[in-house]
Amino acid sequence: MRLSIIVPAYKVADFIEKCIRSLEDQDISKSEYEIIVTNDGSPDHCKEIVENLQQEFSNLVLINQVNQGVSMARNNAISIAKGAYILPIDPDDYVVPNTFKHFLAKAETNELDILYLGFEIFDADEKSIWKTDYSSQEQSFYNGIDGYFVSRGYDVKDPDRSCGLLFRRALLNQYRITYPKNVPYLEDGLFLSKVFSVAKKVGFDNEPFYLRTTRKGSATNSKLFFTDRSVDGFIYAIKNVKDFANESQLNPEQTQLINHTIAKFLILALSPSINSFQFRQYFKVISVLKKANLQTVETDGLRFLYKKHIRMYNFSKLIFPFYFRITNKVN
C-alpha cells in the first residue's frame, strides 16, 4: 500500500464528513491508500458518521478508543498503518481533489523521507489569509536539518504543524518516533524535531493541497498555553528529546537540531509569564527549570533569535525577561 492517512477525531462531528470526502475524492485507486480515523472517545456523533461512510468507502478504517488525546489517537493509527507513507490530517480541515497521484509520484520517485505539501489557511468566513510558497524550494532536495529550517521564517504560519507533510513510515519505525503523550501543546513540534534530525532527504511541492480552516474552540486557539500543565509539558518535551538524541546516537550535526528544539521549548515555558508581566510566575518556572538541570542550555546549532535569547538566558535570569520582550519574534 502506498499511503496511510491518519485522522484523529474528537468533537468534530460538524466537519469530519467534509474532511473524509475530500480525502476520498482523489485520483488513485482506493486499494492504494487507506484513511484511518481514530475516534478519541468523542462525545458527539463522530463514530456514527464514520461508520456510515464506511458503507460507502472500502478504504476507510475506524479505531475507537477511550479519550487519550490527539497524540495517542495518531500513534494508534500509525501502529496499524500499512502505507509506505504517513499523511497526518486534522479532521476539521480538507484537501484539494485529485492531488494524491502527483505528490505520491514525487515522493516515491525521489525516495523522499519527508515531503512538504502546499498549505493554505482560511478564516472563519472562508477567506484565504495565508498560504505557503515553495516555488524556490520545489526543485531542490535537502537533508533533514536544512529542510527543517528552510521551511521556516518570520512570516511562516504554524511552522510546527505535522499535518500536510508526508512522512516515510519506515523512518518512523526505524527510530521509534511517535507523538508525545504528555506534551499538551506543540506536540507536533517535538515530533518534527525528531523526524527531521534523522531524515536524509526532504522535498517541497508547491501545488495547492491542504486547506486549513480557522474556528473557535480548536486546540490552537485554546488557553492551554498559559497553564502550569503546559509548562510541565514543555519541560517534559526537553527531557524527551534529549533521551531520543542519546538513544538514537545522533551525530553532532543532528544534535544541533535537538539543541534548537530544547531552546524552543525552554523559551515556550518562560514566554507566557514574561509577556503577561507575571514575574512571580516567571521565577517559579525558573525554579522548575533549575530542578530539571536546565540552568544553562547548549547554544550550538541554534538559529534565528534563539541563539541570542539563550545566551542571555544563560548569562542572567534577571535581565532575560526584559531582553526577550524587546526581541521576542522567533519561529
Q: What is the pLDDT of residue 215?
A: 67
pTM (2 decimals)? 0.93
User: Which residues of the chain, if any, have pLDDT below 50?
Assistant: 219-221, 330-331
- What are phi and psi for residue 168, nearest 5 degrees? -75, 120
283 neighbors 262 (Cβ within 8 angstroms):
no
> What pLDDT, on a 0 to 100 scale, did the predictor assign at position 227?
77
* pLDDT tens readout for residues 219-272: 444 566 667 888 899 999 999 999 999 999 999 999 999 999 999 999 999 999
The pLDDT of residue 104 is 98
Model pLDDT, residue 121: 95
107 burial via Cβ count (<10 Å: 0-12, 13-18, 19+):
buried
Q: Which DSSP category does 53 fall into?
A: H
User: How confident is the model at residue 330, as a pLDDT?
Assistant: 47
Q: How many residues would you count in the chain? A: 331
